[in-house]
Amino acid sequence: MTKEISLEHVWVEFGEFTAVQKANLTIAGGEFFSFLGPSGCGKTTLLRCISGFQEPTRGVVKIGGKNMKGVGPNKRPTALIFQNLALFPLRSVADNIAFPLEVRGVDKKTRRKRADELLELIALTGQGDKKISELSGGQKQRVAIARALAVEPDILLLDEPLSALDLKLRQHMRTELRAIQKQVGLTFIYITHDQGEALTMSDRIAVMNKGKVEQIGDGKTIYDHPGTGFVASFVGENNVLEGTVLSNDGTIVKVDTGLGVPFVVANHATEKGALVPGDACQMFIRPEALRIAAGDDDRNRFECNFVTEEFEGNMRHIVLDASGRKLKMSMINDGRNPIDGSAPIALDFAPEMGIALPPGPLASA
């Protein structure tokens, strides 16, 4: 029952403005797929293309191998969960859930039965007669999901459905959403600007910027092996050091960033023609990859000065100055305080933790 979705060279243009350019990807049936990107990157437009509220200017959207051109949103096997949930305020919880059945002419008894089933699924058994306004944020969330599932769509589209919830509830709903997805086995397409949501829930993630899909991969790949400078700087935190490529033997790239010795980087762009010696490049190093140097020879070592500390409870984020460049280092708060603010600090990182990429636009902080 789950269908594959493929976007083939999809462009969406609004007059002069290009909202989506050349989106080309396939989402497998039963997959939890996320579009991650800053606001205005075109992810919602892409979602509207799939749900049928927006026709692509160019390209084809296929669901289950069928071209969806000219098929209205009410005729597509998709259900969309809106950012504001769009629950009908004048209807009871059960009537909301049964709405898709109602418009299909299903009789009242069957409707009620299905609504009760779904209420059980979302752990709101017996609350069908409540008004929407009587529910909490998380409950509303679940009602919206139940309503979308009422007619057993092939694909569930979620447009930042958790953004209005508070932190605790959001974290709880992440687990719950993932559990529901596993339980019903549908394809979930999830739109978010919150990388935490994307990383924890998704099978695969497409990172988007300015209408372009920058990288597609599972959470680990996106985080550990970002394909572009944008992905490296948008997903998680990263320190950026501009530098020049000194040598590239295919596995090891040597980068001169002006911080002491050239850095040896094992994690880098591999496509042809990238990172040729002499090229400018960007080197990324995650805050948690930096360590206080312990004297291992195979690690890249440099010195910097303490600036300030941001304390976050479990983590301590140390802001450092390395020859005029601001760096951030994160360490677990294990009760020790190895940093003495007065003297220069020697740091190091493993070659495989450094990321070298051709220069490109970064995510704005």
Partner 1 sequence: MNKRSLSAMVPSLYLVLFFTYLFGPLIIMVITAFNSSGFPRVSPWECFTTDWFGKLAADNKLIEGLGNSLIIGVGVVVVAIPIGLAAAIMLSQVGPKLRASLYTIFIAPILVPGVVIGLSTLIFWDRIGTFFNAPYESFFYSGTFLTIIGQVTFIAAYSMLVFLSRIQRFDHTLTEAALDMGASPTQAFVKVLLPFMAPAIGSATVLAFLASLENYNTTVFTIVSSSTFTTVLSSKVRYGLDPSISAVAVIIIAITLIGAIIFECRNRYMSVGWIKVVADRPALKIATHPGTVAAILAVMVLAAVGFIKSHDSSACQAEILNQKRALQQQLMEQQAISTPAPATPAETTTGDTAPANPFGGANNNIFAPQNLGGSTAEPEPEPAEPQSSSPFGKGNIFAPENLTTPPPDGG
φ, ψ dihedrals at 204, nearest 5°: -135, 155
Which positions touch partner 1 (CB under 8 A)?
51-53, 72-75, 78-80, 82-84, 86, 88-90, 99-100, 102-104, 147-148, 150-151
Contact 277, 247 (CB under 8 A): yes
Smaller CB separation from partner 1, 153 or 287? 153
Min dist. Cβ of residue 256 to partner 1 (A): 53
Query: Percent helix, strand, coil in the chain (nearest 5)?
Result: 25, 35, 40
Instruction: Provide the residue type at 271 as one letter.
Output: E
Smaller CB separation from partner 1, 57 or 83? 83
Smaller CB separation from partner 1, 81 or 320? 81
Contact 254, 246 (CB under 8 A): yes
> Cα–Cα distance between 72 and 259 in angstroms, integer?
58
Min dist. Cβ of residue 138 to partner 1 (A): 19
Min dist. Cβ of residue 237 to partner 1 (A): 34
Smaller CB separation from partner 1, 97 or 362? 97
C-alpha angle 16/61/99, rounded to 5°? 105
Min dist. Cβ of residue 80 to partner 1 (A): 5
Min dist. Cβ of residue 70 to partner 1 (A): 15
Kind and range of the H or E element at 120? Answer: helix 108-121
Smaller CB separation from partner 1, 72 or 295? 72
- Burial of 49: CB neighbours in 10 Å, binned 0-12, 13-18, 19+: buried
Smaller CB separation from partner 1, 104 or 326? 104
Q: Which of 109, 108, 142, 106 is nearest to 127 (CA)?
A: 142
Min dist. Cβ of residue 262 to partner 1 (A): 54
